[in-house]
Amino acid sequence: MTRWDERFTGEAFLFGTEPNRWLARQAPRIVSGGRVLSLGEGEGRNAVWLAGQGFRVEAVDGSAVGLEKARRLADARGVSIGTTVMDLAAFRPAPEPFDAVVLVFLHLPPGLREAVHRAAEASLRPGGVAIVEGFTPAQLAFTSGGPKQPDMLYTAELLRGDFPGISWDVLEESRLELDEGPGHQGPASVVRGAGRRTP
């Protein structure tokens, strides 16, 4: 059982069942009915919402407990999602490219982080959309979630370097108020991006 399996065990959804607000705001960039890859999907709040918007979603996560809850949430909402339990250390770009990739609060250690971000970018077709949100180092001053290891936190500059093939329409660091289940509550410092893979 992974650390995330332990955190996801139980009926409650750690980050709620409503989609991440940044994702919901940026999703209209994705072509209607498009294929979306969500890495580090967790308990399914984002994948299930995307499926409800008519997208075909593949959710990948290392937590079998999280993805089991994601499948149950999808059933309860009358939608279907694909799920793959996988340590992202083994993730490679899919042969059939996606119309969008979504990485919401997927915090990885250096080395693995760059490799996964490169593979996520390479999973996109030219013109495909990347939607990303993570915590910045300033989040260490807050108690609203995120890793406590400084090298697992992200900045706009770091993301720009990790995704050299993405042309960002927006990539910004900001302070906001999180309200995402018991796991993400209160003031937070995040970096958020949305852009497209260059041809």
Ligand X SMILES: C[S@@+](CC[C@H](N)C(=O)[O-])C[C@H]1O[C@@H](n2cnc3c(N)ncnc32)[C@H](O)[C@@H]1O
Size of the site for ligand X (CB under 6 A): 18
In the complex with ligand X, the residue whose CB is nearer, 4 or 154, is 4
8 A C-beta contact, residue 104 and residue 43: no
Give Cβ neighbours of residue 19 (< 8 Å, ≥ 6 apart): 45, 46, 49, 50
Q: CB within 8 A of 195, min separation 6: which ones? A: 129, 130, 163, 166, 167, 168, 169, 170, 171
What is d(CA 170, CA 21) in angstroms, rounded to the nearest whole number?
A: 15
If binding is defined by CB under 6 A, does position 62 make contact with ligand X?
A: yes
- CB nearer ligand X, residue 148 or residue 199: 148
Please say which residue, 101 or 104, places its beta carbon nearer to ligand X.
104
Site string for ligand X, 31-50 (x = CB under 6 A): ---------xxx--x-----
Nearest approach in angstroms of CB 102 to ligand X is 8
The yes or no reply on residue 63 touching ligand X (CB under 6 A) is yes
Asked if 191 interacts with ligand X (CB under 6 A), we say no
Q: Which of 180, 197, 179, 178 is nearest to 189 (CA)?
A: 178
**Would you tell me which residues interact with ligand X (CB under 6 A)?**
4, 15, 20, 40-42, 45, 61-63, 66, 87-89, 104-106, 108
